[in-house]
Amino acid sequence: MNDSVQGFVPLAGYTGYDDDEMRMRAANFYSEVGRRRTVREFSSRVPPRDVLDNCLRGAGTAPSGANMQPWHFAVVDDADVKKKIRIAAEEEESKFYSGGAPQEWLDALEPLGTNPEKPFLETAPWLIGIFEESYGLLPDGRRVKHYYARESIGIATGILITALHHVGLATLTHTPSPMGFLNEIMQRPPNERCFLLLVVGYPSEDASVPDIGRKSLDQFTSHL
Ligand code: IYR
């Protein structure tokens, strides 16, 4: 215990497990997250709103630089706003796919079968604009410095994607480039920058996904 610093409380929420239980939990978790696939075809069926709220609460538990929690999640369910986002995103994407992006990038995307048309931006029940607060703003207008905002928001986004998968919802991490237009449509202030647009909902009945694989453990880890 650190009794020289004020404002500490006991670590009350910690739960430990014996080795076998840990093994089981690790295997179960991997089996569950291993089934996650990025989906581009969504049903328009609307999931319960309180489920989304709890997944967002989960994302808000992410660690962040100096606990600044430099994130904002702008949830869009309004058809008109979704339409505006689709129109603006497709405008950017058309430029990207017809000459804006280097051929090497387009070649790398080829197995994913992506193109400038983004119907899911209107079909899916929710679009979540995940905004990074590059700096905070006090009520009197003074700026508060944020640390490791990008890392923090990346972690929060990972938790959100995992939480949504855990409850049976599919996601698409969509990054129209550039994303500046989302500040205006989603009414976010200039100290925020869109990190990505998360498309959320049930997959459509006939959704298909590219036949691509994942690296094996030894390909992406080392032990020293
Ligand atoms: N933003 C474009 C292109 C795109 C880029 C990457 I990197 C992807 O992994 C997938 C798509 C689009 O959404 O089509």
**CA–centroid distance, residue 33 to ligand 1 (Å):** 22
Torsion of CA 44, 159, 168, 77, to 10 degrees: -20
Give the helix, strand, coil percentages of the chain, each rounded to 5.
40, 15, 40
Q: Is 108 in the pocket of ligand 1 (CB under 6 A)?
A: no
Burial of 51 (0-12, 13-18, 19+ CB in 10 A): middle
pLDDT, position 5: 60
C-alpha span between 126 and 205 (Å, rounded): 18
Tell which one of 41, 90, 118, 175 to mutate to probe ligand 1, the residue whose CB is within 8 A of the most ligand atoms.
175
Is any atom of ligand 1 closer than 6 Å to the C-beta of 114?
Answer: yes
* Nearest residue by C-alpha to atom 6 in ligand 1: 109
Per-residue confidence (pLDDT) for residue 176, from 0 to 100 = 87
Provide the β-strand partners of residue 128: 75, 198
Q: Which domains are present in the chain?
A: 42-204 (3.40.109.10)
- Is the CB of 93 inside a 6 Å radius of any atom of ligand 1? yes
The rounded Å distance from CA 97 to ligand 1 centre is 10
Peptide bond before residue 47 is cis, with ω within 30 degrees of 0: no
For residue 6, give both structure tokens: 């004020």
Q: How far is the CA of 32 from the centre of ligand 1 (A)?
A: 25
What does the alpha-carbon distance between residue 54 and residue 62 come to, in Å, rounded to a whole number? Answer: 14
In ligand 1, the atom with minimum distance to the C-alpha of 114 is 14
Residues 6+ apart with CB under 8 A from 42: 120, 123, 124, 125, 170, 172, 199, 201, 202, 203, 204, 207
Distance CA(101)–CA(95), nearest Å, equals: 8
Cβ of 176 closer than 6 Å to ligand 1, yes or no, is yes
CB-ligand 1 contact for 44 (6 Å cutoff): no
Gap from CA of 114 to ligand 1 centroid (Å)? 7
Report the separation in Å between the CA atom of 195 and the middle of ligand 1, taken as the mean of its atom positions: 14
**Residue 175: CB atoms within 10 Å:** 11
pLDDT at 178: 85
Both tokens assigned to 120: 């899911």
Predicted local distance difference test score (pLDDT) of residue 3:
52
Query: Mean pLDDT for each 10-residue chunk of the chain (224 residues)?
Result: 72 96 98 98 98 98 97 98 97 93 94 95 98 95 96 98 98 91 95 97 98 97 98
The minimum-distance atom of ligand 1 relative to the CA of 175 is 1
Q: What is the whole-number distance in angstroms between the Cα of residue 118 and the centre of ligand 1? A: 11
Q: How far is the CA of 113 from the centre of ligand 1 (A)?
A: 10
44 vs 87, 125, 126, 165, 203, CA distance in Å? 18, 6, 9, 17, 9
3-state secondary structure of 210: coil
Size (the chain), residues: 224
